[in-house]
Amino acid sequence: MGAVHEQECPSCGAAMRFEPASGLLICDYCGKTMQIEPEQRSEFNGFDFANLSSHAYDASAEALPIYNCVSCGAEIIAASEQISLTCPYCRNNIVLTDKVSGALRPDGVIPFRIAPDALPAALRSFYKGKVLMPKNFFSESSVGKVTGVYVPFWVFSGRLFGRLTFRGEKSGRSHRSGDYIITDTHLYDLERDVSVAFDGLPVDASGKIDDALMDSMEPFDLTDVKPFDPGYLAGFVADRFDVPKEDISARAEARMRNTADSYLNAHAAPGYASVKRSGGRLTAELNAKYLLFPVYLFDIVFRGETYNFAVNGQSGKVVGSVPTDKGVARKRFLVRAAAVLGIVLVIALIRYLLGR
């Protein structure tokens, strides 16, 4: 049997939950509130990511473990990546402590700041200005169950370093030759020793959630990271990382390299008309912190189609897709086309009247 931690009210024994608006643990039964006082740590040291063993990702090693609810004694089966849940029998909030202790303990957590009752206003703001959305979307659509999830992220720091070569181009003097103006162009082979530092680069570590959706949730304010405490998970779902280390580090390196390439092409050789990388390779040094980020997930169904939505539980940023009214889109296209054609005709008429 796995070990569990219950967020139990010390006054009445009922389940407590974390309330985003106040940042307190609240008992809905007797009204008691409690402050979360996590362990005091001056800094987050981060995981030894390079030496993280592969068994930490092996779902089969602990497939469908069974836990006992302390309140009602029921046996609960939890998926291997799940670390926080609600007992389906007594509704008590449970944290599976063997999955958040030792080498699996998160470095920190960003608590929910957006309460569930603030989501309708966030959605209305998201819909605002989307003129191609069907007018009856609100009346005919239905919102599914909203789930507050602490999504596991690796937050990387580190650097890319090495020697790169570039081809630089400078323009020289220009001179006329018959009907042509010829400009001399000089090409240079350049070498640069490069070191580019990165900090606070988040990469989601949950295989159940679309990577593009999670990337769109950024930014998260890392100054709000709190030392991990199970109390923040009370009343929410939480998962641990389940994506292999190699895949996560490859995504982090790819994001770092794309950013570095854009920056280096623009700044590696000032004074040149153009600079293009021609060779060399950068080596990556990576460190990572294991953090939990707050996200609300839900679906909206409209005319038989399901649209996935997510809300940043810290900032309220909404990410999702909405249907397009084809009739409205066609009408707007025709209006724009007519406007462009009208401008072209007016310009042609003016030129004709001026004799050009």
Give 264-299 pLDDT, tens digit per residue: 877 777 878 788 888 888 888 888 888 999 999 888
Worst-scoring range by mean pLDDT, 13-27, 44-58, 237-251?
44-58
User: CA–CA separation, 148 vs 22, rounded Å?
Assistant: 16
Q: Which of 106, 321, 123 is nearest to 213 (CA)?
A: 321
pLDDT higher than threshold 70 for residue 3: no
User: CA–CA separation, 315 vs 309, rounded Å?
Assistant: 15
Centre a 10 Å sphere on the Cβ of residue 135 and count the other Cβ atoms it contains: 9
Average predicted confidence (pLDDT) for the chain: 78
| CB distance 207 to 311 below 8 Å | no
pLDDT in tens, 307-334: 888 899 999 998 887 766 565 556 655 5
Query: pTM for this one?
Result: 0.75
Residue 28: band (very low, low, confident or very high) from pLDDT cuts 50, 70, 90: confident
What is the rounded average pLDDT of the residues 50-58?
Answer: 60
Residue 343 has phi, psi (to 5 degrees) of -65, -45
The pLDDT score that the predictor gives to residue 62 is 46
The pLDDT score that the predictor gives to residue 116 is 87
The pLDDT score that the predictor gives to residue 124 is 80
Count Cβ neighbours within 10 Å for each residue of 193-230 and write b for 16 or more, e otherwise. Answer: ebebebeebbbbbbeebeeebbeebeebebeebebbbb
Q: Output 91 or 317, whichever has higher pLDDT.
A: 317
The pLDDT score that the predictor gives to residue 335 is 57
User: CA–CA separation, 124 vs 116, rounded Å?
Assistant: 14
pLDDT higher than threshold 50 for residue 61: no
Q: Which of 7, 4, 1, 15 is nearest to 96 (CA)?
A: 4
Q: Output 67 or 268, whichever has higher pLDDT.
A: 268
The pLDDT score that the predictor gives to residue 111 is 93
User: CA–CA separation, 296 vs 150, rounded Å?
Assistant: 9
Q: Output 293 or 71, whichever has higher pLDDT.
A: 293
| CB distance 227 to 105 below 8 Å | no
| CB distance 276 to 74 below 8 Å | no
CA-CA-CA-CA torsion sign (209, 215, 221, 226): positive
Name 176's Cβ contacts closer than 8 Å, sequence gap at least 6: 182
The pLDDT score that the predictor gives to residue 344 is 66
pLDDT in tens, 100-136: 766 678 888 999 999 888 888 888 887 776 666 677 7
Residue 109 has phi, psi (to 5 degrees) of -145, 140
Eight-state DSSP code of residue 8: B
The pLDDT score that the predictor gives to residue 42 is 41
Q: Angle 254-260-263 (CA atoms, 0-180°, nearest 5)?
A: 145
Strand ranges (E), the chain: 5-6, 16-19, 24-27, 33-35, 66-68, 75-77, 82-86, 93-95, 108-109, 142-143, 147-177, 180-204, 226-227, 237-239, 274-280, 283-302, 305-312, 318-320
pLDDT higher than threshold 80 for residue 225: yes
Conformation bin of residue 102: beta by default, left when phi > 0, alpha when psi is -120 to 50:
left
